[in-house]
Every structure is written in C-alpha cells, then in structure tokens.
A and B are shown apart, each in its own frame.
Chain A
C-alpha cells in the first residue's frame, strides 16, 4: 500500500508539470546611437532608451542602456517593438520618424539584428587630440554645432577628464579641468589641459599604473546628459 503511494507520487512528480514553456530570448538587437553614422559618445550608465512590445496585458518598457561609446545591445524575443528615446535622455534630440510621424520608431525583431539609431545631437566633438606633454594632458578639439534652428543650445562648459579606468565621465574621474562656455572664443579650436595627479591609486587600480584614460565632455545648457569625445589611452611612459 505504502509502496504504491510512493510510486504514484513519483509518477505524478515526473509527469505532472511540463518544463518552462518559453524559450529564453535569443535575438540580439545591437548597434550604436549615431549622427550620420558616427557614434555619439555619452557618459556611463546615464543614457537609456525604451523598447515597448505592445499586445501584452500590462505595458512596461524594456529599458536599454547606452554604453560610453554610444553602443547598445539588448537580448529580446522575436516580435514587433516600438522604440522611443525619452525626451530627457542623451545630449541629442530624436529624429521624427517617417513612418509614425512621431519620435517613435517601429521595428521588427526576427533573429539578431544590427541597427544604428540616428539622432540629432546638439553638438559633435570633432578631431579630439589628446596629447601628453610632461605631466600635463593637453586636449584640442572642434565643437561642431549640429542643431542650429530654434532648438539650438549653447555650450555651458567643456571638461577634460582623466581616470585610471576606461570609464571616464562626470562621476568617474581622477582629475578634471573645466572651461566655461562663455570663455570659448572659437568653437573650432577649444583647448584644455589638466595635470596628471601623482597619486593614481583608487578603486580598482593600483598607484603605479603607467597610463591613464582621458576624454573631453561637453555640457550643453539645459541638457542633463553630457556629450563626450572617444576615450583615449594616454601612456605616461
């Protein structure tokens, strides 16, 4: 009797439930946030956009993070999505989509897909040159104003950041220098310099590292997220 009970229980356990009835998401959507094909560099963990998949009971967005170099990637189920960059995100504006006539973009995911998202940045950092001279990092770049219509914004300030890791931005830096937007006479020739600190130890790096990472950040007035140049490694020896 007892044995039968055990067998029945075992049989029930073995056959009662199916395995999970969904395959895990397997399609990768990846690419860059770009202007005319050139990736827009942003700060780390600050810029996101949203993917909405309509047709389910309750709606909630899938938030996709944009990396420092403007790239992103999301692992998704196949399906039809709506992509929207919230108004407050990034040092750029969305381009009105031809199909939806709004800032929403429709996209179909079926298998992995590489897709660049074109936006209108307020400015672009062009020809950033970061060089070491003695213990000073000098930076020179050109700020090209892209949006020049009624939505144009001024440059509030320009920063040069140094850090011991590749994450270089407003909350991750060892040393930094700032140039007030009003003090820039020629946007085509912006110069900054900052001293490499003697003590380069800190979180995740030892003091005797013989290189640093640097990049230029641009704060545009009335825009929360900064625009950056590409991260560059500077060898100190």
Chain B
C-alpha cells in the first residue's frame, strides 16, 4: 500500500510539474543556443559573436595554409602531394575567387543588431559597431582585390517568399566605388576605435589607418597602371579605375600612412640590434611589447587555437616530428637581396671555369641585406640552436675532374670512390637537398619568417602560438614611400625607405634620384616576402602577366636583371652546396655552390589577363542576371 502511495505521488508530481502548459511549450527558451535578446545585453556574449567574425577574416596566403606560398615562384613546395604547383602552366581563373556574401550578411546583421542594442553601454556598443564595420571593410577590400567591383550590400536582406526574388538582385558597383566605400568606412570608424598600440588582435585606430593606407594605394596604382592592360577593364567600371583618380588615392594613402607614422604608437622593431638577422626574424615571433605589429591573427598554446607553420617547415636537422621543411624559398627570391653596398649581384658560384671555394657554407651569403638571413634559413646558420646541415653532396677529384657523389635520403652515408677515402662518410646533408625527397631543402633553403624557435613548436601535440601579422609598421612605411613616390615627392619617399634599409644593415642611404618604380617594387618584395603581398602587388601594378609570362627561364635569366620590377620569374631555381674532397689540395674540405633547377619544376607559370580578376561562378551569374562577367574569361 505504501508503495502504491509513493508511485501515485510521483505520478501526480510529474504530471503537475514535469510538463509545461501547451501555450508555454512553444515559447520555452532553448537551452543549447543563445537568443538575440540574451546576447545583446551582455558585452561578453557580444564579444564571442564578434570573435567568430574576426575568425572569418579573409586570407589568401597565410601561415595556416603553407602551400599557397609556393604558387608564385617565391618558394618550392617540398611535399610529395604538392609538386603539381610547379608543374602546371596556367593559374586557374577561379583559384582565388571570393564571393563570401554569407560572411557579409553576418556582418550586416551584427551591425544592424548592434545599432539597436540599447542595453549595452554606449562605449562598448560604439566599439563593437566600429569593429564590425572594420571587418566589413576588410571583406569588401578583399572582394575588390580579387573580383573587382561587387554588389555593395550594407543591410541584411530578407526574402519575402513572394516567389519573385528580383528585388534581392543587385548589380556590381564600380571598382572605384568599392574602394571609396572601404576608405570612407575606415575614415568613420578610426576615431571610434581605441587608439592603443598595445591591442594587436582587435581593430584599433592604427589597424584602420593601415588598412586604409593599403586600400588607397591599391586603388591609386590600379588607376595609374590600369592603362597598361586596356583589356583588363569593363565599360561599366566594374573593373578598372580611371587614371585621373590616381592622385586622389595616392594622396589619401600618404595621409593615412603619415597619420600612423606621426601618431607615435608604432615603430620599427629593433630589440636585437646586436644581430640584425635575428632581429628581423624576431620581429615576427616576438609577441611581447612588439612595437611594429599593428594588427595580427593571434594564437594561444593549449587552447585549441594553435598553428602549424613551424611543424610544417622545421628543418630535418632539428625536427621534432618526422616532417617539416615544406616551404623552400627559391633562389630567385634569395637573389633579390642586395649586397650591403647597395648593389645587386648574384651569389658568386663560379670564377671563370672554376668554382669559387668557401671555407664555410655560409660565407657565400656574407655581406648581404640582413633581411636575407632573417627571411630565409641559410646553410651555415642555426635553428633552435641546432646547426643546419644543408648540402647536396661531395665533389671528389678523380681523373682530372670533379665528380659528384650524393645520397638519396637525409644524411646518407657512402664511400667516396677514391683510393684512401674512408669506408663510409656522410655524402649529403641531414637537411638535404635531395632532389624529389619531400621535406628536404630542395632549393637549398628553408623559410625562417614566422618560424617559432620555442621548444615544442614543431610537435604535433603542441604546435605554435606565433601570430600571423596582417599589418605592420614597415608596410605602412612602404605604403607611404610608394604613395610619396607616385606623387613626385621622391625626397619623402627615400626618407621612409631608408628607415627600413637602415634596420636591414645598410649604411649608405638611397638618394632621392635612386627612387624609381623598380626600387619601390624591390623593397616591397624583400621586406614583405611570405606575408601574402607578392601576387596582389604584381596585380595592381599590372606587371603580373609580364613576371609570369609562361616562358622558360634559364639559370642565366635567374641571375640577371636583379632588382627589375618586371623580371621574368616563371620557374624556381635552387642553389646547392657541395663539399670538396680532394686530399692534399688547398681546396679540400671547402664548399662550392651550383645553380640547379629541381626536377619537379617542369612548367613555366603563366598569369593570363583573365587572372587579374577572378571568374564569377556560373551559378552566381545565373542567380543574378544583373551581374556582368569579368573580362578575359
């Protein structure tokens, strides 16, 4: 009986309290997601929404996407599955196509809801709003870079289910209109965003000005150089900017850059003045009080948000996993770094018919722009304290000539076929290069920029928290220098460039007369290598179709015309070191270098006119008949 009573009580209590009434049932707050009402009250929750929007910031080449750095002959992809990148002639016209209206809609929704969020504090709300508008400017800038003018949608659009979606279809804005939008939008948010050089991973006044300086510079150069490629334009102005707008844009770019320069919140990184190569490398991995970084994508160890650039690219000699060494900077890039007396010269490999003999493997690189060693790991240097071991084989003297013996795996040993030679000795470096062996330094180089010297950064279980720098002070100086140059103020231009060159170890300043277009292009290439600028820069200067013209180049072509803006750069070349084995000769034990082409480089890259602005997919065109196609497809 007692038992029945208990059951009855339980049943009654479940019936009366367990279920909700019908009308309440449909209005219950969900427990697994947050409603708008809940979010827009709490600054913390709004920040998490914003964090997701920050996370979707558009990128092309970035440290979490290493292979993209190997498309444009800046580096060779040393991974078996990626050799196709140096084997295909044409760049597909849709490769970097971007039509991310999902992201734009989310940003528009955020802006709309934030404007209506009365329960947030006024300051917090203004900052959130400005940040979202900053991100919206960023995505429109990225769209216009890749696609030309796109429809400017600034309100979240809603479908009314009438069966007729034509009112949702918008035509493309002019290319100049999108740039104007980006520039003016950044103008209006820059005064709301915090003016704090210590904030690196959220939008600041500095970040807005830096983006504005870049965007105005892009628009200015398209206006100025677009005339060189008349086929890359559309009659409606969706692609192409008229030449008379160039001065306005360059002036804007200079103003924005100067606002940062005179603002005093940022400066060049010079913490390790005793070693300028290390200083340049540290600028990218040093995250404490780094005065140069303006806006970065940050990472954090043990948080799930880490990156694997170091894991992907660590040299075999100090590798913490059975992988690494993927991005191999090309000789083509290495040759761009000048000698410290301001002259261009190829690396001295030959002296007449004989080789040039070096006592140490690193001697061939001595006396160069320190950004060379700061960007690229050179033979004869160290990473994580371990000496790099990059050399391709042994050259032994036999029958009146040098013969080469090499191995086919990291640090292979063999016996040199000369009487008196030891039974077994190392015949190839622990880091390679072995032609065709993935993870070995197939160009003779590894990448150093963004590499994390912390122990564990190359382990799958740990990875790295070095940030991806999107805007830094040096680029602002370069933007200012270029804008000033284009406006005819060469004196101002050289002042800015010389600051960068001084940090790189140059003692003789460039004179005003030495400021040329080639010089501007050159400084951007060497300072900003592996930071995602190369292709977009060549595109806006309209020299991409000349640089990647599909014609084979020889070793002589690679070492000539250094420092010329439109020098042909279609195939990757390598420079391999060899150890001399010639007992009794003065050159025994010395090092020589040869220029070779890796066997996986078979095609010369070609940038067609259709690559200047990516193809708009046929599904997009067919959904919206108001869109016009991009030219040359």
Chain A interface (Cβ within 8 Å of chain B)?
45, 58-61, 86-88, 170-171, 173, 203, 222, 224
- Given A86-B633, A171-B604, A61 and B618 contact (CB-CB distance below 8 Å): yes
A171 x B606 contact (CB < 8 A)? yes
Q: Least Cβ distance of B373 to chain A in Å? A: 35
- Given A61-B618, A88-B609, A171-B550, A224 and B231 contact (CB-CB distance below 8 Å): yes
Note all chain A residues with C-beta closer than 8 A to B90.
45
- Give the bracket for the number of chain B residues in contact with chain A: 20 to 34
B622 on the A face (CB < 8 A): yes
- Contacts A88-B231, A88-B631 known; 17 new A-B pairs at CB < 8 A: A58-B618, A58-B622, A58-B623, A59-B618, A59-B621, A59-B622, A86-B633, A87-B631, A88-B610, A88-B632, A170-B550, A170-B551, A171-B551, A171-B603, A173-B552, A222-B230, A224-B231
B52 on the A face (CB < 8 A): no
Q: Least Cβ distance of B26 to chain A in Å? A: 37
19 contacts between A and B (CB under 8 A): A58-B619, A58-B622, A58-B623, A59-B618, A59-B621, A59-B622, A60-B619, A60-B622, A87-B631, A88-B609, A170-B550, A170-B551, A171-B89, A171-B550, A171-B604, A173-B552, A222-B230, A224-B608, A224-B609
- Given A86-B633, A222-B230, A203 and B602 contact (CB-CB distance below 8 Å): yes
Within 8 A of A (CB), among B604-633: 604, 606, 608-610, 618-619, 621-623, 631-633
Q: Least Cβ distance of A203 to chain B in Å? A: 6
- The 6 closest A-B CB pairs, nearest first, are A60-B618, A88-B632, A171-B550, A58-B622, A59-B622, A171-B89
Note all chain B residues with C-beta closer than 8 A to A87.
631
Note all chain A residues with C-beta closer than 8 A to B632.
88, 224
Within 8 A of A (CB), among B572-612: 602-604, 606, 608-610
Chain B window 230-241, contacts with chain A (Cβ cutoff 8 Å), 1 for yes, 0 for no: 110000000000
Q: Least Cβ distance of A41 to chain B in Å? A: 18
Q: Least Cβ distance of B233 to chain A in Å? A: 11
Q: CA–CA, A88 to B604, complex, Å?
A: 22
Q: CA–CA, A45 to B633, complex, Å?
A: 13
Note all chain A residues with C-beta closer than 8 A to B231.
88, 222, 224
Q: Least Cβ distance of B623 to chain A in Å? A: 8
Q: CA–CA, A171 to B552, complex, Å?
A: 8
Give the nearest-CB partner of B545 in chain A. A224
Q: CA–CA, A87 to B632, complex, Å?
A: 7
Note all chain A residues with C-beta closer than 8 A to B604.
171
Give the nearest-CB partner of B552 in chain A. A173
Q: Least Cβ distance of B302 to chain A in Å? A: 48
Q: CA–CA, A60 to B619, complex, Å?
A: 7
User: Most B CB atoms within 10 A — which of A60, A171, A222, A224?
Assistant: A171
Note all chain B residues with C-beta closer than 8 A to A58.
618-619, 622-623
Q: Least Cβ distance of A66 to chain B in Å? A: 15
Q: Least Cβ distance of A205 to chain B in Å? A: 13
Give the nearest-CB partner of A59 in chain B. B622
Note all chain B residues with C-beta closer than 8 A to A171.
89, 550-551, 603-604, 606
Q: CA–CA, A61 to B615, complex, Å?
A: 13
Note all chain A residues with C-beta closer than 8 A to B603.
171
Q: Least Cβ distance of A34 to chain B in Å? A: 24
Q: CA–CA, A171 to B605, complex, Å?
A: 9
Give the nearest-CB partner of B631 in chain A. A88
Q: Least Cβ distance of A51 to chain B in Å? A: 13
Note all chain A residues with C-beta closer than 8 A to B633.
86, 88
Q: Least Cβ distance of A124 to chain B in Å? A: 22
Q: CA–CA, A30 to B609, complex, Å?
A: 28
Q: CA–CA, A60 to B617, complex, Å?
A: 9
Q: CA–CA, A61 to B616, complex, Å?
A: 13
Q: Least Cβ distance of B137 to chain A in Å? A: 31
Q: CA–CA, A170 to B550, complex, Å?
A: 7
Note all chain A residues with C-beta closer than 8 A to B552.
173
Within 8 A of A (CB), among B408-444: none
Q: CA–CA, A87 to B609, complex, Å?
A: 13
Q: CA–CA, A152 to B373, complex, Å?
A: 52
Within 8 A of A (CB), among B88-113: 89-90
Q: CA–CA, A86 to B615, complex, Å?
A: 13
Q: CA–CA, A222 to B231, complex, Å?
A: 7
Give the nearest-CB partner of B603 in chain A. A171
Note all chain B residues with C-beta closer than 8 A to A60.
618-619, 622
Q: CA–CA, A203 to B602, complex, Å?
A: 8
Q: Least Cβ distance of B619 to chain A in Å? A: 6
Q: CA–CA, A160 to B551, complex, Å?
A: 14
Give the nearest-CB partner of B619 in chain A. A58
Give the nearest-CB partner of B602 in chain A. A203
Note all chain B residues with C-beta closer than 8 A to A170.
550-551
Q: CA–CA, A58 to B620, complex, Å?
A: 10
Q: Least Cβ distance of A212 to chain B in Å? A: 16
Chain B window 146-173, contacts with chain A (Cβ cutoff 8 Å), 1 for yes, 0 for no: 0000000000000000000000000000
Note all chain A residues with C-beta closer than 8 A to B622.
58-60
Chain B window 532-552, contacts with chain A (Cβ cutoff 8 Å), 1 for yes, 0 for no: 000000000000000000111
Give the nearest-CB partner of A176 in chain B. B551
Chain B window 251-280, contacts with chain A (Cβ cutoff 8 Å), 1 for yes, 0 for no: 000000000000000000000000000000
Q: CA–CA, A88 to B632, complex, Å?
A: 5
Q: CA–CA, A170 to B231, complex, Å?
A: 20
Q: CA–CA, A86 to B231, complex, Å?
A: 13
Within 8 A of A (CB), among B71-91: 89-90
Q: Least Cβ distance of A167 to chain B in Å? A: 11
Q: Least Cβ distance of A151 to chain B in Å? A: 13
Q: CA–CA, A171 to B607, complex, Å?
A: 12
Note all chain A residues with C-beta closer than 8 A to B631.
87-88
Q: CA–CA, A171 to B603, complex, Å?
A: 8
Q: CA–CA, A56 to B222, complex, Å?
A: 39
Q: CA–CA, A66 to B79, complex, Å?
A: 35
Q: Least Cβ distance of A80 to chain B in Å? A: 18
Give the nearest-CB partner of A173 in chain B. B552
Note all chain B residues with C-beta closer than 8 A to A222.
230-231
